[in-house]
Amino acid sequence: MPELPNIRWGIIATGLISSWFVEDIVRTDRPEPQATHTIQAIGSSSLQKGKDFVAKHIPQTSPAIYGSYEEVYNDPNVDVIYIGTPHAFHKKNCLDAISAGKHVLCEKAFTLTAKETREVFETAQAKGVYVMEAMWTRHFPLIKAMQKVLHEEKVIGEVRRAFCDFAIFQDIASKGPESRLKNPALGAGSLLDIGIYSLTLTILGLEPALGEKKGAAETPAVRAIQSLSDGVDVSTAVLLLYKDGRQGIATSHSDLKTGDDFCRVEGSEGTLIVHGPAASVPSSFTVVKRGGGEKTYEFERPGRGFYWEADAVAVDIQQGRTESPVMPWSETIRFMEIMDEVRRQGGARFPQDER
């Protein structure tokens, strides 16, 4: 057995998502790991927060703990930076990490606008470092299986429509202006927080896997409507239309919880329904054939499943790539452009739109 690649992570920020990420990537109970992961350093706005984070979430590790992000970027023992700050800081955090010569895995939404995203990738290209948006769901074995069933095996015939939703009760009205869910300057709104997953599943349902597409991915026509509260979108509904007539409907809502069957893909010979706690973490899907017959595909997922994207980063870097074949830069830009257009039509604005 060839030795698995090992990668040394510097973690930026000690909020919720960073805790999920680190807990997952040091798990030892998952099947078929493709890499091993060392938590080399933690960077936080406060040294004490960093210490508390390690004690609570990864007490079995002994990373360097810093009271600033810069010290992580400059740590020579760190290979790759994981960015878990609110979206509004992603551009600056990415640029700082890249200018220190580090590879980067940055949480979704990658930045606030497509313009910011392009700036980050141009800088990464000039520096020759690896950067990927942490759209973790794309790395789930379930997603690869779903695309194979839909677009290679064509089990439901020609795919024609997809409907996907992500709705979760976030009680935004009760939050203060410091909350990333409330403050437009921090990128608040359902679209970039959760609607990005509905869009992802809708588009992955309607399109073959990136590697099998011929030429650049088509950007479908977009029509969108949003409900706003204090300028922040509480709900977003997006219609997508491809040149050949394929149709997508992607919705998000931050004031109620959706059910377990949050995504449906319809084809000429049947339907595929995706199940799970939310569109970010699908756990199974069922194919229902038009003439009768039904099959459910289940997937093992110890913990939450962040190790799949982390493994992909380690393998890509080991193989000398600067982009992920699963989430290449052009795909992050395409999604950011769609979300810019959705907000332009729907009305949700960020102060950063003007810059």
Ligand X SMILES: NC(=O)c1ccc[n+]([C@@H]2O[C@H](COP(=O)([O-])OP(=O)(O)OC[C@H]3O[C@@H](n4cnc5c(N)ncnc54)[C@H](OP(=O)(O)O)[C@@H]3O)[C@@H](O)[C@H]2O)c1
Q: Which residues bind ligand X (CB under 6 A)?
A: 13-17, 44-45, 49, 84-87, 89, 107-109, 134, 136, 180, 193, 280
Residue type, 173: A
Cβ proximity to ligand X: between 46 and 296 the closer is: 46
Give 119-174 as a DSSP string. Answer: HHHHHHHHHT--EEEE-GGGGSHHHHHHHIIIIIS-TTSSEEEEEEEEE----GGG
Q: Closest separation between CB of residue 84 and ligand X, Å?
A: 5
Find the shortest distance in angstroms from Cβ 17 to ligand X: 3
- CB 137, min distance to ligand X, A: 8
Nearer to ligand X, 17 or 150 (CB): 17
Shortest Å distance, C-beta 99 to ligand X: 19
Q: Which is nearer to ligand X, 35 or 83 (CB)?
A: 83
Q: Which residues pair with 193 in a beta bridge?
A: none
Specify whether the backbone of 100 is left (phi greater than 0), alpha (psi in -120 to 50) or beta: alpha
Smallest separation, CB 110 to ligand X (Å): 9
Pick between residue 141 and residue 208 the one whose CB is nearest to ligand X. Answer: 141
Identify the DSSP state of 187.
T
Q: How far is the CB of 347 from ligand X (least distance, A)?
A: 21
Q: Which is nearer to ligand X, 146 or 191 (CB)?
A: 191
String of b and e for 283-320 (b: at least 16 CB within 10 Å)? bebebeeeeeeeeeeebebeeebbbbbbbbbbbbbeee
How far apart are alpha carbons 126 and 97 in whole angstroms?
A: 13
Torsion of CA 264, 268, 269, 274, to 10 degrees: -10
- Tokens 């409900």 identify what position? 227
In the complex with ligand X, the residue whose CB is nearer, 94 or 272, is 94
- Among residues 117 and 280, whose Cβ is nearest to ligand X? 280
User: Which residue in the shown chain puts its C-beta closest to ligand X?
Assistant: 15
Distance in Å, CB of 307 to ligand X, minimum: 13
From residue 110, give the alpha-carbon distance in Å to each of 57, 90, 150, 256, 340: 25, 7, 28, 25, 13
